[in-house]
Every structure is written in structure tokens, then in C-alpha cells.
Amino acid sequence: AAEAAWCPACGVAASAPGTQRDALLALAKQSILAKLRLPARPKVPQPPSRGALLTALRMMRAQRWDTAAAFPGMLRDGRGPLRPEMGLQEYEILSFAESGSSTSHSVRLHFRFSQEVAGTTEILQATLYLFWAAPSRGAQPITVRLLQPDPAGPNMTVASETQLEVQRSGWTTLDIGAAVQSLFGQETPRLTVELEVPEDWESPLPSNHSDSHWPFVVAQAQARTPHRVHRR
């Protein structure tokens, strides 16, 4: 009893050091998983290739410099820099494409978002990064469609469609914030990007598909503001 009184506040009954250490380690795991809203630790991940990761980080940094240069001190939508001390947990998500089905003139890419994050946050910004191969002749017309699972059935619905003309090889970015936001409210937050070219054009993506040119999405999300309980 005397020993237990020694540590009334830490909630871990004063016990043999080994047992106490195990209890604290278990507490640490439980605390981190709870704050990440994960039921258990994720399975062993399949990390992206080093080339793809380095390119994505370089592009994100360049994008951030551009934003900071254009609006010093501001973030994406004109608000001052949010800080975690304000209690709103922010997330930055980097998602690499999974190859989907393809035909002679269209390619599908899938981006998955975890339910834990999608179910409890709102999207502040989401950008799709695509690397185009050099068109074989003149400007190449490309249709970029954002597809989402149709909640009512097995089909996909078109969330948005953008017509582009690719003049030369290089990176392009597309703001997909609205599509990802509407996705975040769904059961399976998975975004499909369909790239379609006219019949006699070849695929707009590099054929060698070198890792460092693999498409990816960068999203910023913020925990939904908890409803305020006013105490009188």
C-alpha cells in the first residue's frame, strides 16, 4: 500500500521494475495506436522504391517553396500556419499509384487511403503528380478522369474529367482536393485515375515506367474540429 501511494498519479501500480516496464511499454503502444486511430499496428508495409520516394519528396519540397514564396506565412488556403498546439491534429499523406487495368488507349491507376484517416479528417489540399512521356508527334490530347466507387453499386462514377494537351515530357500536377474530399466520406476511400488518349496515340506515361517517374498523390488533411461543448 505504501508503495502504491508512492505513484498515485501515473496510474501504473508501483510494482516490480520489470513488470512496471512491461506495463509502461504496453501503455505506450496503446496510447500511440489510439491517437492514430489504428485498431492494431499495420502489417509490414511495402515501401515505395527509393527513386520514387526521393522524387516525390523533391517535388513536394519544390511545391512548398512555390507556395511559401507566393504567400509568405500563409498555408494553402490563406490561413495562418496551423500548429498542433491548437489541438487539431494534421496529417500529410503521400500515396503512390497502384497499376490498374489498361487498354490500348487508356490506363487506370489506383490510390488507396486508410479508413482511420479518411473517416476522421477533412481534406485541406490534394495534388496528383503525373509524369508524361514525350509525345511522338505534336501536342498529345489526354483525358484525365477521376473515378470513385459508386456507393450504390459495383460501378464507378466519374468525379471529374480534365482535358489536357501534352507538348513535351515532364511532370504535371492536378488539384484533386474536391474528389478526395468526397471520397473521404465513403466506405472504401479509393481513388481511380483514368488516363485516356485517342485511338492511334500511345500511352501518355513513360513506357519504361522508371520508378522515379511513378505517379503519386500528396494530400493534407486535418482532424475534424470536435464539436465545442460550452460549459456555463
Of 2, 17, 46, 136, the one binding other proteins (CB under 8 A) is: 46
Radius of gyration of the chain (CA): 23
Report residue 59 as a C-alpha cell: 517535388
Binding span for other proteins by CB under 8 A among 36-44, 72-80, 179-187, 199-207: 36-44
What is the nearest approach in angstroms of other proteins to the Cβ of residue 205?
21
Q: How far apart are CA 146 and CA 185, in angstroms?
A: 16
Torsion-angle region of 186 (φ positive above 0: left; ψ -120 to 50: alpha; else: beta)? beta
Q: Please report where in the chains the cell 517517374 appears, as a residue.
A: 213
Binding span for other proteins by CB under 8 A among 88-96, 133-141, 156-164, 206-214: 88-96
Binding span for other proteins by CB under 8 A among 64-72, 79-87, 153-161, 173-181: 79-87
Q: How far apart are CA 95 and CA 34, in angstroms?
A: 23
16 binds other proteins, rule: CB under 8 A: no
Instruction: Tell me the one-letter amino acid at 173.
Output: T
Of 18, 43, 70, 138, the one binding other proteins (CB under 8 A) is: 43
42 binds other proteins, rule: CB under 8 A: yes
Residues 6+ apart with CB under 8 A from 71: 78
Q: How far apart are CA 206 and CA 214, in angstroms?
A: 9
Identity of the residue, 94 or 174, whose beta carbon is nearer to other proteins in the bound complex: 94
What is the nearest approach in angstroms of other proteins to the Cβ of residue 17?
12
Q: How far apart are CA 31 and CA 36, in angstroms?
A: 9
Of 59, 75, 94, 164, the one binding other proteins (CB under 8 A) is: 94
Identity of the residue, 89 or 106, whose beta carbon is nearer to other proteins in the bound complex: 89
